[in-house]
Structure 1
């Protein structure tokens, strides 16, 4: 039996995993910094740097604040770097910005077909993101896979934040699965460490976000170019394929 044959549920990160990070989030990061700087271009550049993004190239450092932080963590980082707001004020503003950004997001593949295929193969499916729950649901609605989701968890859903194990354990509670039956798929170490901390049976890294093979190797069982390669890796629940 292969290790993947024990897997009956797959829990996905959203940004950088289901969505192409650079195409979906670099423009949002620029707007986030502009808002947090109240339009001060010099300060906005400084805020982007503090968040881990090069203001000119758009490159985002793996596992940096903008790559892996939740709304409150990003707000805290922006305030610490000089944004003239309170953390509470920025958190509310950022949550609204992130929810609206679902309309501009770029999917890695046809997510409706992708989730339908995995669902018909018998997998229970969920999304766990450092974004807010409203943003996840808006994304699922926009790309047509909400009907295939057994579970949705954002940083504000009450399951804790990454890399804590709570979102994985919540998925298990919602589906009746044990952690060893769950594969966690993500683009940064917060996702993979969450899976490892929960005792997940498999951690799978993808390269459509901010991580690289080098940064993701230690915490992942597999490192794929993108989620479409899961189709070969996950032939079906209980499969004893090669």
Structure 2
């Protein structure tokens, strides 16, 4: 994509701002352990969401990786007779707010540097908005973001471009002036559909080979964003 002025950066959360397995691997193992009646039951739930209980890691093609908490609940529900979907979603959302948060680089320093360049910042995640806000608060960077959008914020979930366009609309910025940075094909496809610059990072489960054909650039992690902006004349 030809270089052009960038006025905002929209971050995915898990696998981008925070390490995916350190966050959701711990969440999945704790939830399965809490809900399972025995080892066989635990293994069945783990298989349903594409999760390895031994390594506490998701399979690269797990539907949970780029999905919403509600989608994870739908996969688990057949293994939890007597439970209902709204109650399970609420339980998983509540547990998600307290997961470990491991960032690939010091977030305050990175985001502060981007703000110093005059960039507006946002989060667009397929997690719940309340969880995203709680995570940003715990990481001490909530004040850095102009908007935080979750799958339940009223604009749908990625890969639809609607939540990305809602961010641009809220800030009065042309989508072409926004970098969407994420770790999944959902992020890249949403960015392309929204007309945004699509930058992928390798801090999530997806590989370079998967991401590269769908991205304008692929970085090791978000720490490479400032240099990439400078090199590309953004």
TM-score by length of 2: 0.92
Give the superposition deviation at 1:86: 1.8
Q: Does 1:215 align with 2:210?
A: yes
Equivalent residue number for residue 83 of structure 1: 80
Residue aligned with 2:30, SS: helix
What does the per-residue CA deviation read over 1:32-55, in whole Å, with 9 as the maximum and x for residues that have no partner? 223443x43222222122212222
TM-score by length of 1: 0.90
Work out whether residues 122 and 167 of structure 2, in 8 Å CA contact, stay in contact via their aligned partners in 1: yes
Q: Distance in 2 between matches of 1:215 and 1:126?
A: 25
Equivalent residue number for residue 26 of structure 1: 25
Q: Distance in 1 between matches of 2:5 and 2:227?
A: 15
Equivalent residue number for residue 50 of structure 2: 52
Equivalent residue number for residue 226 of structure 1: 221
What does the per-residue CA deviation read over 1:140-181, in whole Å, with 9 as the maximum and x for residues that have no partner? 112222122111001111111111111111111111111111
Work out whether residues 29 and 66 of structure 1, in 8 Å CA contact, stay in contact via their aligned partners in 2: no
Unaligned 5+ runs, structure 2:
none
Aligned residue-pair number: 233
Give the superposition deviation at 1:56: 2.1
Residue aligned with 1:26, SS: helix
Work out whether residues 186 and 204 of structure 1, in 8 Å CA contact, stay in contact via their aligned partners in 2: yes
Q: Distance in 1 between matches of 2:86 and 2:21?
A: 27
Give the superposition deviation at 1:106: 1.1
In 2 relative to 1, CA 164–187 (structure 1 residues): closer, same or farther, beyond 3 Å? same
Unaligned 5+ runs, structure 1:
none
What does the per-residue CA deviation read over 1:198-241, in whole Å, with 9 as the maximum and x for residues that have no partner? 121x11111111111122122111111110011101239xx837
Q: Does 1:206 align with 2:201?
A: yes
Q: Does 1:11 align with 2:7?
A: no
